[in-house]
Amino acid sequence: MKFDLSIIFNAETFKSLAEAYGWTIFITFFALMLGIILGTVLAVMRVLPQTNVVAKVLNKIAAAYVSVFRGTPLMVQLFIFSFVIFAKIVLVNSTISAYLIAVIGFGLNSAAYVSENIRAGILSIDKGQMEAGRALGLSYGQTMKSVILPQAVKNIIPSLGNEAISLVKETSVALIIGVNEFFTEIKMITASTYNVITPYIFAAVVYYVTVAVMSFGLSKIEKRLRKSDAR
């Protein structure tokens, strides 16, 4: 078995790979957006002052959510979403629903990890910031939105970047629910050509370049944030 790039770089195969790679980026992007939005909500629920019953209940709900999604395998979660919770949708339109379920599944899973990163970022901000905001007449929510979260974001950019990088690689798991993402296409090429070396090396290079580009973009964002702090 030899390394043969002609397996990859022919018009039909390369087009299929490009389309599948596009789905990988699509799932990663929207799952990360869902994870950040929901993760922020969960993080705020976790840090609410435990002064009343509502705050305590919200804290317990958020803690339970994080525990469940971090304590069970992602593959199992995707199976449950696809074949139990959204089973009827799958029967109606299996192609569209598979990608939608992938975004939801990865997003909800990512939210559990993102929420802990954001919570750590919030807790890293000096308590005096909250007290100062309240002293100026801002409500708890206004202070959190305008004072605490903007500062916390700067502290958690690296961890959010790591989550995005992890999502890119984890999308390969989506093949179990019928999503034709990049790694699924690689496996199909391997099966049809009986060549393991070329497709897998090509996949490794593509994933590496993708992660390198994301890391470069992340470093640029961090440098810009550091410059704004220095002013």
213 within some domain: no
How confident is the model at residue 85, as a pLDDT?
Answer: 81
CB 44 within 8 A of CB 97: no
210 within some domain: no
224 within some domain: no
CB count in 10 Å sphere of residue 94? 13
| Alpha-carbon gap, residue 69 to 158, rounded angstroms | 22
28 within some domain: yes
Counted domains in the chain: 1
How confident is the model at residue 108, as a pLDDT?
Answer: 94
- Residue-range definition of the domain harbouring residue 97: 21-180
225 within some domain: no
196 within some domain: no
12 within some domain: no
| Cα–Cα nearest to 78, from 185, 168, 178 | 178
Global pTM reads 0.86
165 within some domain: yes
Instruction: CATH number of the domain at 120, please.
Output: 1.10.3720.10
pLDDT 10s digits, 25-71? 999 999 999 999 999 999 989 888 878 898 899 999 999 999 999 99
What is the longest distance spanned by two Cα atoms in the chain? 72
pLDDT 10s digits, 155-198? 888 888 888 899 998 888 888 888 888 988 998 888 888 888 88
